[in-house]
Chain A
């Protein structure tokens, strides 16, 4: 490869940036006043301001995690981050109304084109807030609410108040506290009883400014017997200074509902990506996380599912690619709280050029959760001697009827597989690219086709120079 792949994705294709045309930009640094100013600027109800302020104080008091990549975490300069930047005065429903420079960015990312072809709705977030938002009319007619989070709070304050922070309270961890204090943007989705949203809805998150912090907040509620597939993509320009992305995503699947949340995270290598994602599955509900981590400097992300109702199911597929200077600390957590709940976790990672990938997982079975079943599989490929791969799984079983399995392996690319492909005319680099694509195939086949094609090309590009 691969002129074709380079043509398709470029040399970190998303590394471009546009001139900043902010309408409002806060000074760098965080204080209670900044938190109150964000809330006031958005015209939020009093209860939300109070939650923000409490969360801010918790963030200040809570120490940094003493596990994971402490060196990288300690190097985050919270005082150098811009916590709020408004690029457009309003969220548009028509791409033609979006300011030209921002629209150009999303054109280059292919979002409007994708929307026309295969999406049920789109939110495009640029810096701190959504600049474009639309939903198909037929979904709107069925009562589906798909808004950016700020509009969701304005238009449905009671619904937001009922569920906001119920899955991930602000005191959950330091970064959920940070997000709750300064959140801006994200998606708010409510799917009414029995409604199946057939086409995926998408949110696209873009950081453009230097030293920017993006703290979107997403809340998805699928009412009884409904279903939705939400797709999330993330990119940022390549700067010499670091940016911070700290999102919180809460999913609530009511009885018999199904939520699938797919992410392809391709932040540039100067972004700290510290995200808390968790879903609650009620009786016979299904929550699925399909999570791809290709970019960022440090990712710490462990999508979790709380299986609260009998017969609920969790499915987590996670892949990570750690290249030079990257640490992908990803994983999955499942809490079996109710009887006859089931879960599957599949994690795949590749480390190359000194990159480090870690799987950190938790599987917990409550003493009253009879008849639970779970399977965890972690596979890691190491492509050179400078890289590193770790696995930190935890299994806590409090019920004797539980059936749990965990297996993990770390290895390099098989010489036999390389030989087979090379004897059929592939160069060593092409052969490795094919093997890597095959290794990630359980993940890519769960993505919408356009995403899968993009991801495969991206991986092919990342594999360049893997030989010698």
Chain B
């Protein structure tokens, strides 16, 4: 089905409950405007995109829209264990988008940074982790403060492979992220840590789906969101353990730190379990800054504002503290430190 044949999704759908499609479409919902490809630099070199010979079938409206509005893709193959990729995606004109496809054949890591002045930016990531690889991926959203950002990611993890995924989301004004991971092979593992900082009316909507499709698969999701000054963080998670996935272990936690009266946070960690011999848990917590922590820091010379900033930084940085890959961990922490300063 093409985009124009599709029905505009209803807000009663879990995915579109808080950020309806019409709010993140770059123009009017019944149009596919001209969207330019963004500039992609890989390890300092300009990357050339290829046409997607066959557009993958999807019934999800934002995926179809992103593919129909820009049918070129950057294919990145991770072939050697020593491969380290620093990817910079920069969008300069009014509306731009980018498709990245990772074929992970060997262990490695990728640090991806998004920046630029566009008022609308679309990102699509597809990836396949072949058997027996360990892949670490870090993404930093540093888009301009007025940007509307639409993102779709699909990660497929095959047998005995593991994905360590980290995200720092501080850029753009309205963000709709739809990240889906499919644990397709036995003993595949996902560790996903996301830090979100919503300030100055920023609305950051993360929808995260994790599908356990094989036995003995493991997943762990932790989303730390801090909201201040009319910031609004939304986290909807859908964890599905399909039939015949015994021995699987899954957990997801959404934590919201509310720093001002006008801040808002939503957490909906959903769970669907169709196998019995599994361990599945989820949790969500929302709270303001602990006054005892502020008191502790103020007693050591911090002003109230500085104490709050330190606590905020610590809260967000804790998302990445257990990252096993040094390169991606440092990338995320350094970006966060720069932002905090």
A interface residues, Cβ below 8 angstroms from B = 66-67, 367, 380, 382-385, 387-412
Contact = CB atoms under 8 A, between A and B. Distances in A.
Contacts of B163: none
9 contacts: A66-B12, A392-B268, A393-B268, A397-B264, A404-B285, A408-B271, A409-B281, A411-B280, A412-B277
Contact of B280 (A67, A367, A400, A409): A409
Contacts of A390: 270-273
A400 B285 contact: no
Given A388-B272, A412-B277, A407 B264 contact: no
Contact of B269 (A389, A393, A410): A393
B335 interface: no
Contacts of A403: 286-288
Contacts of B288: 400-403
Given A397-B264, A407-B282, A411-B279, A392 B270 contact: yes
B275 interface: yes
Interface stretch (B92-100, B139-147, B252-260, B319-327): B252-260
Contacts of B260: 400
Given A385-B244, A400-B260, A407-B284, 7 more contacts: A390-B270, A393-B270, A400-B261, A405-B284, A406-B267, A407-B281, A411-B280
8 shortest interchain CB distances as A-B pairs: A400-B258, A391-B271, A382-B276, A406-B284, A409-B281, A410-B280, A407-B283, A397-B286
Contacts of B286: 395, 397, 402-404
A410 B268 CA distance: 16
Nearest to A356: B274
Interface in B229-270: 243-244, 246, 256, 258-270
Given A384-B276, A385-B276, A409-B280, A397 B266 contact: yes
Contacts of A406: 267, 269, 282-285
Contact of B282 (A67, A383, A391, A401): A391
Nearest to B288: A400
Contacts, number: 116
Contacts of B266: 394-397
Given A385-B246, A410-B273, A397 B258 contact: yes
Given A66-B10, A394-B268, A402 B274 contact: no
Contacts of A407: 281-284
A399 B261 contact: yes
A413 to B, nearest CB: 9
Nearest to A381: B276
A73 to B, nearest CB: 14
B273 A389 contact: yes
B297 interface: no
Among B10, B12, B275: residue with most chain A CB under 10 A:
B275
A387 B276 contact: yes
Nearest to A373: B287
B278 interface: yes
A393 B284 contact: yes
Contacts of B259: 400
A404 B280 contact: no
A254 B258 CA distance: 32
Contacts of A401: 258, 288
A411 B283 CA distance: 15
A67 B12 contact: yes
Given A67-B12, A407-B282, A410-B278, A398 B270 contact: no
Nearest to A351: B276
User: Interface size class for chain B?
Assistant: 35 or more
A332 to B, nearest CB: 15
Nearest to B284: A406
Nearest to A361: B268
A404 B279 CA distance: 24
A72 B269 CA distance: 25
Given A408-B283, A409-B280, A410-B280, A397 B256 contact: yes
Contacts of A395: 265-268, 284, 286
A408 B282 contact: yes
A249 to B, nearest CB: 25
B273 A380 contact: yes
A105 B230 CA distance: 60
Contacts of B278: 410-412
Contacts of A408: 269, 271, 281-283
Contacts of B262: 367
A412 B276 contact: yes
Nearest to A375: B285
Contacts of B246: 385
A400 B277 contact: no
A408 to B, nearest CB: 5
Contacts of B276: 382-385, 387, 412
A348 to B, nearest CB: 15
A393 B271 CA distance: 9
Interface in B276-310: 276-288
Among A67, A394, A401, A412: residue with most chain B CB under 10 A:
A394
Contacts of B264: 367, 396-398
Nearest to B280: A410
Given A395-B268, A397-B265, A405 B273 contact: no
B283 A405 contact: yes
A296 to B, nearest CB: 21
A383 B265 CA distance: 35
A393 B258 CA distance: 20
Nearest to A65: B12
B93 to A, nearest CB: 37
Contacts of B274: 388
A50 B260 CA distance: 47
A383 B278 CA distance: 11
Contact of B273 (A66, A367, A382, A397): A382
Contacts of A396: 264, 266
Contacts of B283: 405-408
Contacts of B271: 389-392, 408, 410
B143 to A, nearest CB: 26
A382 B241 CA distance: 13
A370 to B, nearest CB: 9
Contacts of A404: 284-287
Nearest to B234: A396
A139 B258 CA distance: 49
Contacts of A394: 266-268
Contacts of B275: 382, 385
A111 to B, nearest CB: 38
Nearest to A391: B271
Nearest to B263: A400
A401 B288 CA distance: 5
Nearest to B240: A390
A396 B263 CA distance: 11
Contacts of B269: 391, 393, 406, 408
A392 B267 CA distance: 11
A453 B295 CA distance: 52
B275 to A, nearest CB: 6
Contacts of B243: 385
Contacts of B273: 380, 382, 388-390, 410
A383 B273 CA distance: 12
